[in-house]
Chains A and B, each alone.
Chain A
Amino acid sequence: MNAAPLVALVGNPNAGKSALFNALTGARQKVGNYPGVTVERHSGRLVLPDGRPVELVDLPGAYSLEPSSPDERVTRDFLAGTQAGERLPDALVVVVDASNLDNHLRFTLQLIALGLPVVVALNMIDLAERDGLKLDPERLSRELGVPVVPTVAVRRRGLDELRAQVDGVLTGAPCAKPAPAEAEDIVTLQRRARKIAALATVSEAPVRRWGHALDSVALHPVSGVLMLLAILFVMFQTVFWAGAAPADAIAAGFDWVSGVVKHLMPDSVLRSLITDGVIAGVGAVVKFLPQILVMFFFILLLEASGYMVRAAFLMDRLMAHAGLSGRAFIPLLSSFACAVPGIMSTRTIDDEKDRLTTILIAPLMTCSARLPVYTLIIGAMIPNVRVLPFVGLQGLVMLGLYIMGVVGAFVVAVVLRKTVTQGASSGFMMEMPKYQLPQLNHLAIGLWSRAAIFLKRAGTTIAFTTIVLWAMLSFPKPPEGSPVSPVNYSIAGRIANGIEPVFRPIGFNRDIVLALIPAMAAREVAVAALGTVYAIDESGSDGGEAQIATTLAKRWSLPTALAFLMWFVFAPQCISTIAVTRRETNGWKWPAFMVGYLFALAYGAAGATYWVAKFFGL
């Protein structure tokens, strides 16, 4: 009885629902997850005119009560009172786009027929007026049989009136129920909606949006592609430019904490656990947070401005070759910086199989964590010669590795679409929202929730895994005076001994196998791990990496180095990616499949490279 009433905000996608939610709740909101699905639950506190609080939930946008995506299923279940852990809402605020009444009223009619108290927010009324559309909210209210409040969420217009009407439907007598709408099919509803829209429209000018002019540039086969390339260029430059300094600062911060702990604690197993295990391991992952956030900033910006669908439109043809839709393009592209934001942003893909395929191939995009490994090995093993004017062999090998990843991803996508993620593609059919200026608070909330998800992962799954890896590298300790180094004596060293025969056919020696074990945490750890294996003290001199490179050049054959690079193109050596895949697919089945197929590919590709290189006498 004492619980605050629950009111759900519901409506079509692109009705300005989130903007209205932000305007109504301000900073008092919470972002969580519905149990069992990767759909975010946004809730906040709305204060009624008399000061009573109401819990307001922003439901995912939907076109009807017949769900075609996990998001829409949550909306349907929530409204039916069958969503796990949720109670039936006490009232609904239905948000409709004033300039798109024909379409949005159909869903409104469906919602009114549910029988819950309803208030309709006739949102973005200013844009409709600018569009030459004059509406009669009172007539609309009469036709629908529920209160209608014109609102402009971004300018905070109509909010008080909306609060008052919510108060009214919550406390007042239940409003007159409209004629029962049961068993009405979508076409009948649509026709009724169009009739009501026509009645509520006072006058109408033909659609003339400035957005159409922008679209003739943004969707043009030539200028549109150039514009997309320019946006991507800026995005990637910013990710690496703005992400680098904070990443270094975070790394330095973790080093500093590690130094303090070393200073305060006597040398012991516990100290090693804290510094070499937890701090170093979590630091290696958290270091990527700035880049991930910059990437997400751009993704949220593109999404909120309405451009994302345009990019998908341009790339749909290309992606269709791999059995995917244009929606997969941005997540895959983000994965070039880091697969973690890439996989998290697949939530914008409606079709579950499209989404799953995209998640499974995302790790094949060459992420920034592979760069230190590629740079080290290429620098050490590939001669710095020019094969053509301005074309160096080292750069060519690097480019080749990137291309291998992309080609691999396309081939894998085609195979997956015919096997495990088989099924009719839902194609590409989507509403292109109006262009909008993104709202800063909306971006900030989105960024914060992504950062929280990532840090929570780093603090739990990833911290735990790095401790396990540390233990494997540290125990058991060799007896006093043993000629065997601690790493070689440890469990990891023994595992490396055990599995080395498996890797011998693809040209890997035991040292490489040993370095691959800690590099499971994050790929670039391989660089430091090679240093450890070859007993090079990195901290002693600033020439740590140069020393590793010299050692590698002496100890590795060229076929081995090439095989090692190939391994890194495919191998799923990243705990964060595995953890985020588990989260986004709700279970271990798909991450296990991903790890399995990527290791198999890595093994095959590295082996083939090794033997081809040997055959040509490299």
Chain B
Amino acid sequence: MNMFSRVDSHLSLESLPNRQPATVAAIDWARLSVPEARRLRELGFDEGVGVEVLHRSLIGKGPIACRIGRMTVALRRTVAGAIRVSQHAA
């Protein structure tokens, strides 16, 4: 479960480059509102789950689309910023 947790976990989903498979290392639940946190869990965000950024909307501040498990999910950047990820070793 924790084999990725110590690698590169300073990286957030927000700053993860497109199309680079990674794993959710930790989620900073305190940065999210209660409904946000719940919906995030319901969409399957959890430590150890594979994640990948697929698309970013308008350069800069728009939402991002990412793959979580086998599902595509759209998130705002503030939420993506609360998700720590570790990149897979090349």
Tell me whether B20 is interfacial, beta carbon within 8 Å. no
In Å, the complex CA distance between A357 and B73 comes to 25
Q: Scan B42-58; emit 1 where CB is below 8 A from any A CB, else 0.
A: 11101001000011111
Contact B75 A429 (CB under 8 A): yes
Q: Please, which residues of chain B bring their CB within 8 A of the CB of A429?
A: 36, 39-40, 43, 73-76, 79
User: Cβ of B42 and Cβ of A309 under 8 Å apart?
Assistant: no
A216's closest neighbor in chain B, by CB? B55
Say whether B59 contacts A221, CB under 8 Å. yes
Smallest CB–CB gap between B46 and chain A, Å? Answer: 6
Closest-by-CB residue of A relative to B68 is A103
Q: Is B10 interfacial (CB-CB < 8 Å)?
A: no
A425 CB, nearest partner CB in chain B, Å? 9
CB within 8 Å for A186 and B42 given contacts A100-B71, A426-B36: yes
Check B54–A212 contact: CB distance below 8 A.
yes
Contacts of B75 in A (CB 8 A): 428-429
User: Which B residues between 55 and 73 are near A, CB-CB below 8 angstroms?
Assistant: 55-59, 61-63, 65, 67, 69-73
What B residues does A428 contact at CB under 8 A?
A: 63, 74-76
Nearest-Cβ distance from residue A323 to partner chain B, whole angstroms: 13
On A, residues with C-beta under 8 Å from B are: 63-64, 66, 68, 99-100, 102-103, 106, 131, 133, 186-187, 190-191, 194, 207, 211-212, 215-216, 219-221, 224, 309, 312-314, 316-317, 320, 326, 424, 426-432
Residue B33 CB within 8 A of the other chain: yes
State whether the Cβ of B6 lies closer than 8 Å to any Cβ in chain A: no
Flag if A430 contacts B57 (CB, 8 Å): no
A221 & B44 in contact (Cβ 8 Å cutoff): no
B35 touches which one: A131, A186, A215, A426 (CB < 8 A)? A426
Q: Could you say which of B55, B57, B71 contacts A103, with CB atoms under 8 Å apart?
A: B71
Contact A66 B38, beta carbon cutoff 8 Å: yes
* Count of A-B contacts judged by CB separation below 8 Å: 114
Q: Is the CB of A103 within 8 A of B43?
A: yes
C-alpha spacing A207/B54, complex, angstroms = 12
| Interface secondary structure of A, over-half rule | helix
B82 smallest CB distance to A (angstroms): 12
A160 to B19, CA, bound (A): 42
Neighbouring A residues of B73 by C-beta, 8 Å: 429-432
B78 within 8 A of A: yes
Q: How far is the CA of A64 from the CA of B40 in the complex (A)?
A: 12
Known: A190-B41, A429-B40, A431-B43. 7 other contacts (CB 8 A): A68-B38, A103-B43, A133-B70, A186-B38, A194-B49, A212-B54, A428-B75
Contact among A68, A220, A326 with B55 in the assembled complex (CB-CB below 8 Å): A220
Cβ-defined partner of B61 (8 Å) among A317, A326, A432: A317
Residue numbers in B under 8 Å from A314 (CB-CB) = 57-58, 62
B56 surroundings in chain A (CB, below 8 A): 221
- Taking a contact as CB atoms under 8 Å apart, the answer to whether A103 and B69 are in contact is yes
Taking CB atoms, residues of chain B closer than 8 Å to A431 are 43, 71-74
* Cβ–Cβ contact B43 & A63, under 8 A: yes
When distances are taken between beta carbons in the complex, the residues of chain A under 8 Å from B62 are 221, 313-314, 316-317
CA distance A258 to B60 in the complex (A): 60
Please report the C-alpha to C-alpha distance between residue A43 and residue B72 in the assembled complex, in whole angstroms.
Answer: 30
Contact of B76 with A102 in the complex, beta carbons under 8 Å: no
From residue 13 to 30 of chain B, which have CB atoms closer than 8 A to chain A?
Answer: none
Measured in the bound complex, the distance between the Cα atoms of B74 and A207 in whole Å is: 17
> Which B residues are in CB contact (< 8 Å) with A427?
33, 36, 76, 78-79
Question: How many angstroms from the CA of A430 to the CA of B55 in the assembled complex?
Answer: 14
Contacting pair B78 A215 (CB below 8 A): no
Contact of A190 among B46, B61, B70 (CB under 8 A): B46
Q: Are B63 and A313 in contact (CB under 8 A)?
A: yes
A430 touches B74 (CB 8 A): yes
Q: How far is the CB of A507 from chain B (nearest CB, A)?
A: 43
> Which among A63, A66, A432 has the highest number of chain B CB atoms within 10 Å?
A432
Q: Who on chain B is nearest to A314 by CB? A: B57
Q: Which residue of B lies closest to A190 (CB)?
A: B46
CA distance A427 to B75 in the complex (A): 8
Contacting residues, chain A, for B72 (C-beta < 8 A):
211-212, 215, 431-432
Please list 19 pairs of residues, one from A and one from B, whose beta carbons are closer than 8 Å in the complex, sorted by A's number: A100-B69, A131-B70, A186-B38, A186-B41, A190-B44, A190-B46, A219-B55, A312-B74, A314-B62, A316-B57, A316-B62, A317-B58, A426-B35, A426-B36, A428-B76, A429-B39, A429-B40, A429-B74, A430-B73
For residue B24, give the distance in angstroms from its CB to the closest CB of chain A: 12
The 3 A-B residue pairs with the shortest CB-CB distance in the complex, in nearest-first order: A63-B42, A317-B62, A219-B55
Q: CA of A219 to CA of B57 in the docked complex: distance in angstroms? A: 6
Cβ B69 vs Cβ A102 within 8 A: yes
Interface centre among A63, A100, A316, A427 (most CB of B within 10 A): A427
Q: Which residues of A sit under 8 angstroms from B59, Cβ to Cβ?
A: 221
B70 to chain A: closest CB distance in Å? 5
Q: Kindly list chain A residues whose C-beta atoms are within 8 Å of the C-beta of B39.
A: 63, 68, 426, 429
Q: How far is the CA of A216 from the CA of B49 in the complex (A)?
A: 23
List residues of chain B with CB within 8 A of the CB of A221: 56-59, 62
Which residue on chain B has the smallest CB distance to residue A425? B33
Closest to A221 in B: B58
Distance A314 CA – B41 CA, assembled complex (angstroms)? 24
By a CB distance below 8 angstroms, the chain A residues around B44 are 102-103, 106, 190
Tell me the nearest residue of chain B to A133, going by C-beta. B70
Assembled-state Cα–Cα distance A103/B70 (Å)? 9
